[in-house]
Amino acid sequence: MFPLLTLAYKLLVNDRAKFTALTVGLTFSVFLMVLVTSMFVGIMQRASATVLNTGAPMWVMDPAVTTVANSIPMPDYVLDAVRSMNGVRYAVPLYSGGGLVKLDTGTYQSVTVLGLDDTTLFGRPYLLEGKIEDLYADDAFIVVRDTEFTKLNNPKLGATFEINDHRGVVVGIAEVPVSSLFGIPTLYTTYRRAIEDIPSARFTLTYVLVQPKNAAAVPEILRQVHELGYRALTAQGFRSQITSFYIYQTGVGTNILIMTIVSFLVGLSISGQTFYTFILENLERFGALKAIGARSYELISIILFQAVLTGLTGYGLGVGLCALVIALAKLRLPDYAAMLTYLNLGLAFMMVLIIAGVSGYVGVRKVIRVEPFDVFRS
C-alpha cells in the first residue's frame, strides 16, 4: 500500500497548478469558516462578560430577562426569600445599570455601573491599582481597564468625575477577564451607592447572586425560586440563554450561519471542480494502473489519499492564516471580538472532511468506470 500512496502523492504534487488551485481554494474556505465562527464565539463571550467577570455560580432574576444587559428590577423581598431557601449557602444583591459620566473635559460618556454587595463585595474585580477597602469611601468608584478605558480619558487614582449629577472619585483601577460587548466602560461601586446615584424605578434589585451549599442543592434552589415566581439559572445556563437570544432573536445567528454555509459551498465547488479536472487529466494513468493489475479498492485508496491530503493541507493553512489575521487585528483594533476555540476548529475540520469526501467521490466514480481498453485505444 505504501508504494501506491507514494505514487498518489507524486501524481498530486507534480501537477503544481492543480495542486495549488485545490490548496488555495480549501485554504480560503477554511479561513472564512473559522474566521466567521470565531467572531461569533468572541461576540457571545463578550455578551456574557458580566456573568463571567462576576463569577457567581447561580443567578436569580425576573423571568422576562433575556440577556444580562436587559435587567429588570425585582422587589427587595426576593433577596430575603432566596437567603432563606434550603440549599443556599449565601445570597447577595447585585445592581446592574447604566449611568452618564461627565468627564473633567466637559464631555459625556455612557457607562455600565455594577453595584456590589456592601458587606461582602462579592464579584469584585482584580485590582491593578488601589485598595478594595477604599470602595467604602465617599463617592468611590473602581474603573475597569479594558478596551474601553480610554473613553474615560485614562483616569488615574484620585481622578474625579460626575455621574448623574453626583460626584465620583476613582479609588481603584481593575482588570476583568472579558471586556464588554457594546463598547461601554464599566464602573464598580457598592450596591447602596449605585442605587443612590443612578436613577431607577421603584425596585432596585437587579440580580441575586447565589452560592449553593453543594452541586446537589442546585435543582432544589431552582425549584424554590420558580415557586417564588422568579427564575434561577446557573452561570452556564445564563450564558446559554444569552447565546440563544442572540442566535434566535437577533440577526447575528442568521448572518453567521449564512456566511458559514457560503464559505463551505465555495470550498466545495472549487475543490470538487478542480479535483474532477485533475482526475480527467490523469485518467490515462489510472487506466494504465488498472491494466497492469491494480484493483478497484487500490485506485479508490489513491484518490481518497489525494483528497484527504489536499483537505488537511488546506485546513492547516486556513487555520494558520485565520490565527494570524486575528492576532494582527487585535493588535490594531482592541475592540475586535474573535476567539479560536476547539468548537469552531472542530466544525471547520468536519466541513473539510465533507469537502474531501465529496471531491473524492466525484473522482472515484470516474476512475472506477474507466476501462483500460478505452485508454490504450485512444
CA atoms within 13 A on the CB side of 219: 1
Q: What is the pLDDT of residue 6?
A: 78
Q: What is the pLDDT of residue 372?
A: 62
For 324, residues 6+ apart whose C-beta sits below 8 A from its C-beta are: none
Distance CA 84, CA 76 (A): 13
Classify 76 as helix, strand or coil: coil
Distance CA 174, CA 261 (A): 41
- Asked if residues 378 and 329 have their Cβ atoms less than 8 Å apart, the reply is no
Q: Residue 223 — very low, low, confident or very high, per pLDDT cuts 50/70/90?
A: very high
Considering only residues 11 and 137, tell me which one the structure prediction assigns the higher pLDDT.
Answer: 137
Distance CA 302, CA 76 (A): 71
Q: Which three cell numbers stand for residue 154?
A: 485614562
Judged on CB neighbours under 10 Å (0-12, 13-18, 19+), 52 is: middle
Q: What would the pLDDT profile of 293-319 be if each residue is shown by its tens digit?
A: 767 777 778 778 877 888 888 889 989
Angle formed at CA 294 by CA 291 and CA 295, multiple of 5 degrees: 115
Reply yes or no on whether the pLDDT at 344 is more than 80.
Answer: yes
Q: Which three cell numbers stand for residue 312?
A: 488537511
Q: Which three cell numbers stand for residue 108?
A: 459625556
Amino acid, single-letter form, for residue 328: L
pLDDT (mean) for 321-342: 86
- Asked if residues 264 and 33 have their Cβ atoms less than 8 Å apart, the reply is yes
Distance CA 282, CA 193 (A): 77
Residue 374: left (phi > 0), alpha (psi -120 to 50), or beta? alpha
Rounded mean pLDDT of the chain? 85
Q: At what angle do helices 252-281 and 283-291 cross, to 10 degrees?
A: 60
Q: Which three cell numbers stand for residue 159?
A: 481622578
Q: What is the pLDDT of residue 2?
A: 64
| pTM confidence score | 0.77
Q: What is the pLDDT of residue 377?
A: 57
- Asked if residues 67 and 245 have their Cβ atoms less than 8 Å apart, the reply is yes
Q: Residue 321 — very low, low, confident or very high, per pLDDT cuts 50/70/90?
A: very high
Q: Which residues pair with 210 in a beta bridge?
A: 58, 91
Q: What would the pLDDT profile of 55-72 be if each residue is shown by its tens digit?
A: 899 999 999 998 888 888
| % of the chain exceeding 70 in pLDDT | 95
Strand bridging mode 207-212 / 58-61 = antiparallel
Task: Give the lowest-confidence range in 3-12, 47-56, 257-266.
Answer: 3-12
Distance CA 356, CA 365 (A): 14
Q: Give which of 87, 92, 83, 96 is closest to 51, Cα–Cα.
A: 96
Q: What would the pLDDT profile of 158-188 be if each residue is shown by its tens digit?
A: 999 999 888 999 999 999 988 887 778 999 9
pLDDT (mean) for 231-239: 93
Reply yes or no on whether the pLDDT at 375 is more than 70.
Answer: no
